[in-house]
């Protein structure tokens, strides 16, 4: 099972360092046949990142429109978003002590909640399936390691 934070997921829509690595990770048989998981917060973060890149002209208007449409289509059918449930929010309170900003804390809490829910059989998914947390954010990756998540940073791959 693969959890993608916004910094990893954006690489599917904007060509940058780590794009090929994240695409390869999505094909990894060890991860399983389940759709990638992310927080509902990712919807806003990806749209904001795309708009910022259009505004600073690192994306042409045409590429922006194509990337946004592709993301919206994938969001509707290809991702499994995790809601900000009371269980996730209780974990946010815990993980902010690791020095994370709010959005990063939501991503880490969502991933921890999902990992634990799968292990307890409360969420769909094979309890024995490998659970991987993908992020390009080094501070978030360090916090995820502290919380005993298997971290994949697409920027660190050859």
* Domain range list for the chain: 2-40+80-156
- Tell me the average pLDDT of the chain: 92
Q: Decide: residue 47, CB within 10 A, 0-12 exposed, 13-18 middle, 19+ buried.
A: middle
Is it the case that residue 1 has pLDDT exceeding 70? yes
Instruction: Pick 2-40+80-156's CATH classification: 3.40.50, 3.30.70, 2.60.40, 1.10.10.
Output: 3.40.50
92-138: pLDDT as tens digits = 999 999 999 999 999 999 999 999 888 777 555 555 567 899 999 99
Stated pTM of the model = 0.91
With vertex at residue 120, the alpha carbon angle to CA 115 and CA 1, rounded to the nearest 5 degrees, is 30
User: What average pLDDT does this structure show over 34-40?
Assistant: 93
- Provide CB contacts within 8 A for 33, sequence distance 6+: none
Q: Are strands 132-134 and 2-4 parallel, antiparallel or unpaired?
A: parallel
What CA–CA distance (Å, rounded) separates 75 from 83? 14
């Amino acid at each position: 099972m693969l959890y993608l934070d916004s910094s990893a997921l954006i690489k599917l829509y904007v060509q940058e360092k780590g794009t090929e690595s994240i695409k390869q990770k999505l094909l990894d048989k060890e991860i399983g046949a389940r759709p990638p998981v992310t927080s509902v917060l990712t919807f806003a973060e990806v749209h904001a990142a795309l708009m910022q890149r259009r505004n600073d002209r690192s994306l042409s208007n045409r590429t922006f429109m194509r990337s946004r449409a592709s993301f919206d289509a994938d969001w509707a059918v290809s991702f499994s978003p995790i809601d900000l449930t009371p269980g996730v929010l209780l974990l946010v309170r815990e993980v902010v002590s690791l020095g994370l900003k709010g959005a990063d804390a939501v991503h880490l809490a969502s991933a921890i909640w999902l990992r634990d829910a799968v292990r307890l059989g409360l969420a769909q998914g094979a309890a024995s399936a490998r659970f991987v947390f993908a992020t390009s954010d080094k501070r978030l990756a360090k916090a995820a390691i502290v919380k005993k998540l298997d971290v994949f940073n697409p920027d660190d791959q050859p």
